[in-house]
Amino acid sequence: MNLHDWIDELCDALDVEVDVDESLILDLAREAAHNVERPAAPVSTFLLGYAAARSCGDLDELERLAGIATDLALRWDKPADVLKHEDEDPEVEAELADVDA
């Protein structure tokens, strides 16, 4: 089973008929997790879905709303001692440099 199969099965189980742009949703989840905190990913995607439902599932509106949410996540203020992305850890970078050498 892959992600598309899961989405189809979940839509059937939840009795919803909707075209899902998983890359749009995953992009928002990634930015929320990296720029806000990990639990922000599922909460953000839930809220995006709720907002999309209020707009009757209009795909253009969904893209607009996702853009607003992603922009907010990208601009989210964090303390100076928190890395922008967890994979920007200097120790990890040093380890990767050793592997590449």
- Report which of 37, 12, 7 is spatially closest to residue 25, judged by C-alpha positions: 7
DSSP 20: -
Sites in the chain below the pLDDT cut of 70: 78-101
DSSP 16: -
Residue 22 structural domain:
3-100
DSSP 88: G
The span from the CA of 51 to the CA of 57, in Å, is 9
- Residues 29-58 have pLDDT tens digits of 999 999 999 999 999 999 999 999 999 988
pLDDT of residue 1: 81
Residue 4's Cβ-count burial label (10 Å; 0-12, 13-18, 19+) is exposed
- Domain count within the chain: 1
